[in-house]
Amino acid sequence: MNFPLLLFVSLFCSLTWTQDYDSNPETGTIETQSCFPDMCNLLKEFGAMREKLGAMETRLRDSESQILELKGKENNTVVFSVANGGNGAVGPFDAHTTLIYRTVMTNIGNAYSPVTGIFAAPTAGIYYFTFYYHAGGDHPVNLSLFKNNEVVVGTSDHRSLNDGADNGGNAVFVQLQKGDQVFVRLHANTHVWGDDYSTTFSGFLVNQV
Ligand SMILES: *[C@@H]1O[C@H](CO)[C@@H](O)[C@H](O)[C@H]1NC(C)=O
Ligand SMILES: *[C@@H]1O[C@H](CO)[C@@H](O)[C@H](O)[C@H]1NC(C)=O
């Protein structure tokens, strides 16, 4: 029983007919015998109920903060789909080149930069990436999906004179830490076709970890 309740009990009991002048209203001390037994039991029960109510309030507050936390996670949508843009071959170049996909179709969360071609994970989690290409058959194609400095997956095609064009791609689930960078590199002396819909790079956050 906490102090205000004790005070309430003492006040209530002193109002009953069997007033006990020994009880001290200043300190709130009380003798249980001084009030009607029924009334005192009622007050005890009331005290127990208040305690239960207090515990329930605490649990409710915990649940509320958990819901808010989940809502925050829910809100963390990261999705992008971009295409090379332009209208012609990209490459071949003498050196490895990060492909910059300039045509942005979707970029929720702005984690992909159409200026650098780099996707930077805004949050730790499992991400899914795809990259498809279209290319003329007169040069080889070799694209790699990088996570920071390491190649995760690639797609390539040899030079051939008997097919006019090639299409290929790859996809992968990658676990990223916040700030990890993912991008597609066009290897030296290879090429792809650039337009608004053929050579694309997409990704999304599957789940926060
Ligand atoms: C999601 O984020 C937006 C903008 O940051 C905010 O206005 C909105 O209340 C959030 N929604 C939830 C369910 O938290
Ligand atoms: C593509 O480039 C990677 C990395 O440089 C290399 O290991 C691989 O052999 C290349 N593939 C082809 C088909 O040239």
pLDDT at 70: 80
Give residue 90 CA to ligand 2 midpoint distance, Å.
Answer: 18
pLDDT at 35: 62
Q: Which two tokens stand for residue 8?
A: 């309430």
Phi-psi region of 88 (alpha: psi -120 to 50; beta: other; left: phi over 0): left
DSSP per residue, 94-118: SS-EE----EEEEEETS-B-TTT--
171 and 125 in a single domain? The answer is yes
Ligand nearest to the CA of 77: 1
Strand partners, 70: none
pLDDT at 32: 52
Q: From atom 1 of ligand 2, which residue's Cα is the shortest distance away? A: 142
Report the C-alpha gap between 66 and 69 in whole angstroms: 5
14 and 50 in a single domain? The answer is yes
Q: Of 54, 74, 94, which marks where a domain is finished? A: 74
pLDDT at 74: 67
115 and 171 in a single domain? The answer is yes
48 and 139 in a single domain? The answer is no
160 and 85 in a single domain? The answer is yes
92 and 155 in a single domain? The answer is yes
CATH number of the domain residue 148 falls in:
2.60.120.40
Pairing of strands 150-157, 119-120: unpaired
Quick count: other Cβ atoms within 10 Å of Cβ 34? 17
> For 56, how many CA atoms within 13 A lie in the half-sphere containing its CB?
6
122 and 195 in a single domain? The answer is yes
86 and 176 in a single domain? The answer is yes
- For the chain, the domain total comes to 2
Global pTM value: 0.68
Sign of CA dihedral 44, 50, 54, 55: positive
Question: Which domain does 195 fall in, by range?
Answer: 76-208
Query: Does ligand 1 lie within 6 Å of residue 68's CB atom?
Result: no
Q: Which two tokens stand for residue 16?
A: 């009953």
119 and 157 in a single domain? The answer is yes
Query: Does ligand 2 lie within 6 Å of residue 139's CB atom?
Result: no
What is the enclosing helix (H) or strand (E) of 4?
helix 3-15
88 and 176 in a single domain? The answer is yes
pLDDT at 159: 84
pLDDT at 17: 44
92 and 183 in a single domain? The answer is yes
Residues of the chain below pLDDT 70: 1-35, 72-74
pLDDT at 152: 98
Query: Does ligand 1 lie within 6 Å of residue 77's CB atom?
Result: no
Sign of CA dihedral 186, 189, 190, 191: positive
